[in-house]
Chains A and B, each alone.
Chain A
Amino acid sequence: MTDLLERPAAAEHPEPAEQHGPTGLLKWLTTTDHKVIGLSYTITSVMMLVIGGALAELIRAQLTSPNNTLVSFAQYNELFTMHGSVMIYLFAGPFAFGGLANIIVPIQIGAPDMAFPRLNALSYWLYLTGSITMLLGFFTAGGAANFGWVAYAPLSNSLNTPGAGADLWIGGLLLTGFSAIFTGVNLVATIFYLRAPGMTMFRMPIFTWNLLVTAILILLAFPVLTAGLIMLYADRHFGTHIFSVAGGGVPVLWQHIFWFWGHPEVYILALPFFGMATEIFATFSKKPVFGYKGMVFATITIAALSLGVWAHHMFTTGVVLLPFFSIMSLLIAVPTGIKIFNWIGTMWRGQLWFSTAMLMAIGFLVTFLIGGLTGIYLASPPLDFFTHDTYFVVAHFHSVVMALVLAGMGGLYYWGPKVTGYMLNERIGKAQFWFLFIGTQVFTLPMYALGLDGMPRRMAVYPHDPQWKALNDVASLGALLIGLSTVLFVVNLVVSWKKYPAGDNPWDAQTLEWFTTSPPPHHNFYRLPAIRSERPTWDYNHPEHRALGHGTREESH
């Protein structure tokens, strides 16, 4: 059952078993090990989360009174532009598909490394330099980019937004865009070509499946963004008129291009976190993922539909085909609903262990439910005309992304022990969960009310409507609670530093990554179990408790 496997060895160039290459700084600069690169990604992206969060706190502080002068209008525009850009481009995606996926996916499928280790390292360096490039805008004379994270033409042209900040924003996105494309290539190749024997496609854990679909979406969507950015740069500096009316261009073209990337991007962000939550639910319920195949098809359906919904961001332009985008967007609710019911089905009749990771996942489910249900309204053009560009939309997508943050934190608590070999403190973790979960609701729920009362987004002041102050103050309090939860996370990292050894499988988890040591050796596995389902570790540890098919009461074989 546990044959010795030479598979991972780089046999042509045998390396000493223990010491691999340089140490110290040179190790981090020259590594091609997916675990080290993934860790670099994770650390960098969590730093981006902190930076983006700090910008958010400034925004919320500005909004605590109707005519606040804490920041100027110009600074406020920079703040929300960079808050959105940092969180979307530099935190959420890279954290998921660059960080955790990079570490976990190869181990989950029994691969010795990613398919293209040096390309993987290049992805990280492009991501890091892209992040630095974008943030450099704050240090230029004109300040950072200030046209919103969507950079609508013609506001983003050189007449309306001159200065280096905007160009640095474009340059940063070019770098991180290529980084994402390379990671996508790498993930697809790894999953298609480096699976362990017996690890058929329909035995891959849901997290890996979601990352495969994410990677395909990256390959479909990111080149479009890169092309759009080059057009934008050409409009700004080479005198083309692709997006300007004056030269015969079409400003709405930018919105088409941007959202053709932008809506798949929403699922590029979300699917990895759905995968994390799925794994956590299964592990801490001591049950297999309920409706595994339905889950896979739901993920693929979401990806397929996501290419046909981009213009629901553009309903109010008046120049898009409303019924088509409306029904496609509404239909996405179906596979998403399947996922939600499957998660509950996974917990049903389980033995739930409320670890920090599980609490985070449940918090994710509740928050995502709110964000998902309010998203259905926005798929209906008349309701979108009503709520577009108000705080209702802001609240909707903050419910969604805060749900992702909850799932991501759950992922860190869940897989952290596998990556580092040490557990995090559960008591502080649970405190962090409650701050984060309650903070999220206190932060988002008032914004729904503000949006319905007509408060538009991206307003530095609201002089005509001082009655909005009360709800804004509540939302700012929520943002403060979320900030405190991040502080608790950092405290937990310091307190738990190399304190609680984890062992190979602290959670009695099911998938292949828990079969190897914590942290895994250089090429991940000393030995592999027989892979006969999507949870080989569980089958190995509990051979008498295999998953049951529909209608089966006993062991299936």
Chain B
Amino acid sequence: MRVEAKLLLGLGLFFGLMCAVYWNWSLENAGGVMMFAAMLLGFLPGGYYYFWSRRMRARPEDDPNATAAQGAGVVGTFPGTSIWPFTLGMGAFFTVLALVFGIWLLIPGLGLVGWAAIGGVSESRRGGRV
């Protein structure tokens, strides 16, 4: 976890420095704001990982001498198959087409998105198959 944290914090720090130099030198706001946001995108998750890396035991994947047995067991729940990503994708498709061909396409678009949201969430609760 520590390497991950350092990677993100390091990137954030670099973007922060670059942002300071650039913004003060160029006085151009668009790039300054975007670089500042990039710095935050380094610091926010990096800080989170750093916080946890200090409080948790080293995971098997961070231990250079770990054996395969140490990591055995359930990693997480992986739904074997699911129709909801496809449903949600089609909903997004129609929603975007509504930007071009007319507002009425929002009916199937948002309908499918909502259906997929409900279906996907309840699938997670049930835990698994189509």
Contacts and interface: CB of A to CB of B under 8 A. Distances in A.
A10 interface: yes
B110 to A, nearest CB: 15
Contacts of B69: 3, 5, 197
A199 B61 contact: yes
A236 B85 CA distance: 31
Nearest to A125: B89
A257 interface: yes
A200 B97 contact: no
Interface in B1-52: 1, 3-4, 7-8, 10-11, 14-15, 18, 21-22, 25-26, 28, 30-31, 34-35, 38, 41, 49
B96 A30 contact: no
Q: How large is the interface on B (under 10, 10 to 19, 20 to 34, 35 or more residues)?
A: 35 or more
Interface of A: 2-13, 15, 20-22, 27, 29-32, 111-113, 115, 117-122, 124-126, 128-130, 132-133, 164, 167-168, 170-172, 174-175, 178, 192, 194-203, 216, 219-220, 224, 233, 237, 253, 256-257, 260, 300, 303-304, 307-308, 310-311, 319-321, 324, 328, 523, 527-532
A200 B79 CA distance: 27
- Between B3, B22, B49, B86, the greatest number of chain A beta carbons within 10 A of the residue's beta carbon is seen for B86
Instruction: Give the dominant DSSP class at B's interface.
Output: helix
B129 A197 contact: no
B35 A308 contact: yes
Contacts of B14: 304
B93 A13 contact: no
Contacts of A11: 73-74
Interface of B: 1, 3-4, 7-8, 10-11, 14-15, 18, 21-22, 25-26, 28, 30-31, 34-35, 38, 41, 49, 60-86, 88-90, 92-93, 96-97, 99-101, 120, 127-130
Given A129-B90, A192-B4, A304 B11 contact: yes
A304 B86 CA distance: 35
- Between A13, A197, A233, the greatest number of chain B beta carbons within 10 A of the residue's beta carbon is seen for A197
A257 B68 contact: no
A5 B71 contact: yes
Given A126-B89, A133-B97, 14 more contacts: A10-B128, A32-B78, A32-B79, A117-B79, A125-B90, A125-B92, A133-B93, A197-B69, A202-B3, A219-B41, A237-B99, A304-B14, A310-B31, A324-B21
